[in-house]
C-alpha cells in the first residue's frame, strides 16, 4: 500500500477576523481568490474577512464563504510558491462546510459555484436556527454508543463524531439539555457548549433541506479528480451523483469525521495537510491517527513544512 497525502479543509467555527491576511498580502494567487469571491457574491467579503466586524463575520451566510475563500486562497498560494514541489493529494476531505472546499480542490465544482452554494447554505441554515432555538455541545470522554443512547428519545442527536472521545450533540434547547444530563450520568467528563447559531447536522436544519436541494439540482458536478471522503459515510465519493446526494444529506446528517480520517489512514495516508484557519482538524488527526504527520497551513509561513 503506497504512502500518500490527504488534504483537509475546516468548517464553520474556524473563522476569525484577519484570517488569511498574510496570504492576501503576500500571494497574488491568494489575492485573486479573494477578488473572485467579492465579484461572485457582490459583497466586500475580503474586507469583512480582513477587518471584520466579528459579529458580522460569524453569521453563517458570511462565515461559510469566508472560510472557503481563505482555505482555497492558501491552497493556491501553496501551488504558486512550491510549484512541482507541492504535495499531491491522494484524498481530500472537509468538515461540514469544508466538504465544499474539498470538492473545489478535487475539481468537482469550481470556486464560483462553491461560493454561491455555501452563501445560500449559510442563509438557509441561519434561518433554520432562528426558527428553532437550538444549540450544540461537545461531550468529552464519552464514546459514540453511550452518546447515541443519551440522545435517544430526547429530540437531540449526535451531530459530529470528531474523535473517539469527542462527540458533538445538538438539538432544540430543551432537548439538548436533557441529552446532556443523560450523557453526564452515563460518564461524560464534560459537556462544552459550542458558540454556534444552532444545531447544525440535526433535524433542526430540515427546513433548509428543500431549498438547498433546489440549489444543488442546478449544479453540474464533475466526478472528483481525487476521492473526496464523505462526511455522512466516511467513504470516498467518486461520481457526480454521489457528490450531490452527500451535500444534501450532510445538512441534517452526522459528520463522521473520525471514521473519515480512519478510512484515509487505513488506505495509506500518512500525511494530512489542513488548509484554512484554526488548525482544529490537525489536532483531531493527531488523536485519531497518531502515527500520521499532521500539518496546519494557516498562513504562508507554514508552507515551508511541506517541502
Query: Catalytic residue positions?
Result: 96, 201
- Compute CA distances 234 → 163, 230, 231, 255, 266, whole Å: 13, 5, 6, 8, 12
Radius of gyration over every alpha carbon of the chain, rounded to an integer in angstroms: 18
Closest CA to 295 of 86, 110, 26: 86
Chain centroid offset of residue 35 CA? 22
Mapped onto helix, strand or coil, the DSSP state of residue 275 is strand
Grid-cell match 457528490, residue found: 243
Closest CA to 21 of 30, 13, 12: 30
- Cβ atoms of 90 and 268 within 8 Å: the answer is yes
- Cβ atoms of 243 and 103 within 8 Å: the answer is yes
Residues 6+ apart with CB under 8 A from 42: none
For 94, list phi and psi in degrees, rounded to 5. Answer: -140, 150
User: Measured between alpha carbons, how far is 31 from 56 in angstroms, rounded to an integer?
Assistant: 21
**CA angle 220–8–195, rounded 5-degree value:** 95
What's the residue count for the chain?
307
Amino acid at each position: 500500500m503506497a504512502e500518500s497525502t490527504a488534504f483537509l479543509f475546516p468548517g464553520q467555527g474556524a473563522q476569525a477576523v484577519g484570517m488569511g491576511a498574510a496570504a492576501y498580502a503576500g500571494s497574488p494567487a491568494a489575492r485573486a481568490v479573494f477578488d473572485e469571491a467579492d465579484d461572485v457574491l457582490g459583497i466586500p467579503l475580503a474586507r469583512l474577512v480582513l477587518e471584520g466586524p466579528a459579529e458580522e463575520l460569524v453569521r453563517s451566510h458570511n462565515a461559510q464563504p469566508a472560510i472557503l475563500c481563505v482555505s482555497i486562497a492558501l491552497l493556491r498560494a501553496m501551488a504558486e510558491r512550491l510549484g512541482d514541489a507541492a504535495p499531491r493529494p491522494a484524498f481530500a476531505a472537509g468538515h461540514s462546510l469544508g466538504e465544499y472546499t474539498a470538492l473545489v480542490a478535487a475539481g468537482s465544482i469550481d470556486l464560483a459555484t462553491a461560493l454561491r452554494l455555501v452563501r445560500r447554505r449559510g442563509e438557509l441554515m441561519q434561518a433554520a436556527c432562528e426558527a428553532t432555538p437550538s444549540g450544540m455541545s461537545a461531550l468529552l470522554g464519552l464514546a459514540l454508543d453511550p452518546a447515541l443512547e443519551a440522545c435517544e428519545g430526547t429530540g437531540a442527536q449526535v451531530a459530529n463524531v470528531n474523535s473517539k472521545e469527542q462527540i458533538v450533540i445538538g438539538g432544540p434547547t430543551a432537548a439538548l439539555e436533557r441529552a446532556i444530563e443523560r450523557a453526564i450520568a452515563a460518564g461524560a467528563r464534560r459537556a462544552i457548549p459550542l458558540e454556534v447559531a444552532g444545531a447544525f447536522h440535526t433535524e433542526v436544519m430540515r427546513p433548509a433541506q428543500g431549498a438547498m436541494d433546489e440549489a444543488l439540482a442546478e449544479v453540474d458536478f464533475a466526478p472528483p479528480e481525487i476521492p473526496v471522503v464523505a462526511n455522512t459515510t466516511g467513504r470516498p465519493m467518486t461520481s457526480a451523483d454521489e457528490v450531490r446526494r452527500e451535500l444534501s444529506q450532510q445538512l441534517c446528517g452526522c459528520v463522521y469525521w473520525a471514521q473519515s480520517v480512519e478510512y484515509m489512514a487505513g488506505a495509506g495516508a500518512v500525511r494530512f495537510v489542513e488548509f484554512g484557519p484554526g488548525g482544529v482538524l490537525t489536532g483531531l488527526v493527531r488523536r485519531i491517527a497518531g502515527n500520521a504527520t499532521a500539518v496546519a497551513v494557516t498562513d504562508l509561513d507554514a508552507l515551508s513544512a511541506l517541502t
